[in-house]
Chains A and B, each alone.
Chain A
């Protein structure tokens, strides 16, 4: 069944939904962030970048 929504409108709805989810996630992350455990791995000295 062909969709009645125009392509531009569909994309706009998707972008808005994406933005809403990202912002909601960000807000949730700000609230829950402090109570999160630290990262699971400690990067040893030889890993990562050395200056």
Chain B
């Protein structure tokens, strides 16, 4: 008989710890908050329950805080650890020496009039609440693969970095100043409660987490939706107000419907050269040629001129792919009227007829982009008649036909010079997309920089812009809430106007709100 050993499930120590501190901490909170259950010597029961919470339960916080101090770092965990030590230490002193251990001691819990009159106040419930809330928050955040935005100049990230650098030291100094002030004013009981409230109400973790959480959840959602949000896209998406559209977005994936080769040319040879060059062409129709050969020849010395013609060398041959009028004056009659031609050694070798129809989702896509406040502009190499046909029935403000690649770049530059923020939906690497505030690569859902959507899915354009804006908005909103709460809460706490228990509830609540706010992006 063979024995099959199954691996034991991993021990989730942090979960066990959270359950244990909650089990010990909640009764402490209830005893302190409900005077009716405060039986004689209840405070000693509270101490017995709070001791494992503030020692073993908070051990990971102390370890991390001390580890940070060894490297000269003070972070969010330093404040929490200090607040727990202060609350528990003071409570111990008050119980043993301050008179709070007497038989009939009750706990006047008035959150709206928090300045205590005597030193027989203890804050075991504050220590317990801080430990439980902090461990619960760490648990919540541990499931999120936090991700800093790739663009270091992303405004919320820059603000968070700046605030994160000063937040904890400034809070510590404010707590010191509050303790000093109330001690100097000879109101020692308020000194303790004010100092403790400052440490407890500060939510540095909220400042630290808001951008990484929003970025991580936003990018995960983008991957689910099949769109790419690259570096700098979230920052730029908020300021764009014009969307430049082209056939790459509005038409179905181009298909080669006819290949005609010159008399002395092999069709597989022409298709292989065209496939090698097509990957570098700014013309969206060229994507139809990329799959034309299983093993296209390797090419070097690739250049793209202002008419969109790709030139390169393969072996000893100089090869080119582009529109017929850009490559030769007199097209051989046998090639008919192709959309694209391939040439080498100064001679046109093959012509390709490429068909693209307007995508059935194009009207919805334009409507969705307009709903985002973007003004649609159609900018295309197509002649006027074809461009007007493409724009027919679409709610497009401006149609600009007959634009060569250089002309497209010029149009984008002018729009930007007029103060517009421009997003350009075009094939990957198109010159006018590179010149835009926000490139939206159609047919590129990996890589970095700008937005990217799959070819043939025009409605994803609005999804990508909306999601990028949401990442930016959620990051900014979370940061505003975290910093706003600090601006109001910290001075009020230092002034002795916030009960430490209320502060210990507000601080983690702000952090939880910011994290949950970021998680809303999962449903964007």
Contact = CB atoms under 8 A, between A and B. Distances in A.
Interface of A: 5-11, 14, 17-19, 21-33, 36, 39-44, 46-51
Interface stretch (B116-124, B322-330, B373-381): B116-124
A6 B106 contact: no
A49 B102 contact: yes
A9 B72 CA distance: 8
A43 B108 CA distance: 8
What 7 pairs across the A-B complex have the smallest Cβ distances?
Answer: A29-B184, A7-B72, A25-B180, A33-B185, A25-B177, A49-B99, A26-B180
Given A39-B117, A41-B108, A43-B108, 19 more contacts: A7-B71, A7-B72, A8-B72, A11-B72, A21-B177, A22-B177, A25-B177, A28-B184, A29-B183, A29-B185, A32-B181, A40-B114, A41-B117, A42-B117, A44-B108, A48-B99, A48-B105, A49-B102, A50-B103
Interface of B: 69-74, 98-108, 110, 113-118, 120, 169, 172-174, 176-187, 190
A21 to B, nearest CB: 4
Given A41-B110, A41-B113, A49-B100, A25 B179 contact: yes
B187 A39 contact: yes
A34 to B, nearest CB: 8
B359 to A, nearest CB: 47
Contacts of A46: 104, 106
Contacts of B177: 21-22, 24-25
B105 A49 contact: yes
Interface SS majority for chain B:
loop
The listed residue with most B CB atoms (<10 A of its CB), out of A18, A23, A40, A47, is: A47
Given A21-B173, A46-B106, A51-B99, A29 B180 contact: yes
A8 B73 CA distance: 10
A48 B69 contact: no
Contacts of B71: 7
11 contacts: A10-B72, A10-B73, A11-B72, A18-B172, A22-B177, A25-B176, A26-B180, A33-B187, A39-B117, A41-B108, A41-B115
Contacts of A21: 173-174, 176-177, 180
Contacts of B186: 29, 33
A7 B180 contact: no
A36 to B, nearest CB: 6
Nearest to B180: A25
Given A14-B169, A33-B186, A51 B102 contact: yes
B173 A17 contact: yes
Contacts of B115: 39-41
A11 B65 CA distance: 13
A48 B90 CA distance: 16
A40 B113 CA distance: 6
A25 B187 contact: no
A31 B300 CA distance: 80
Nearest to A27: B184
Contacts of A18: 172-173, 176
B118 A29 contact: no
A14 B187 CA distance: 26
Given A10-B72, A41-B115, A49-B120, A36 B180 contact: no
A46 B69 CA distance: 44
Given A14-B172, A22-B179, A25-B181, A48 B72 contact: no
A30 B184 contact: yes
Contact of B102 (A32, A39, A40, A50): A50
B172 A41 contact: no
Contacts of B118: 43, 48-49
A49 B70 CA distance: 41
A44 B105 CA distance: 12
A46 B218 CA distance: 55
B185 A32 contact: yes
B181 A28 contact: yes
B72 A41 contact: no
A36 B496 CA distance: 12
Contacts of B183: 26, 29
Contacts of B117: 39, 41-43, 48
Contacts of B173: 17-18, 21
B184 A33 contact: yes
A9 B116 CA distance: 38
B72 A26 contact: no
Contacts of B179: 22, 25
A28 B179 CA distance: 11
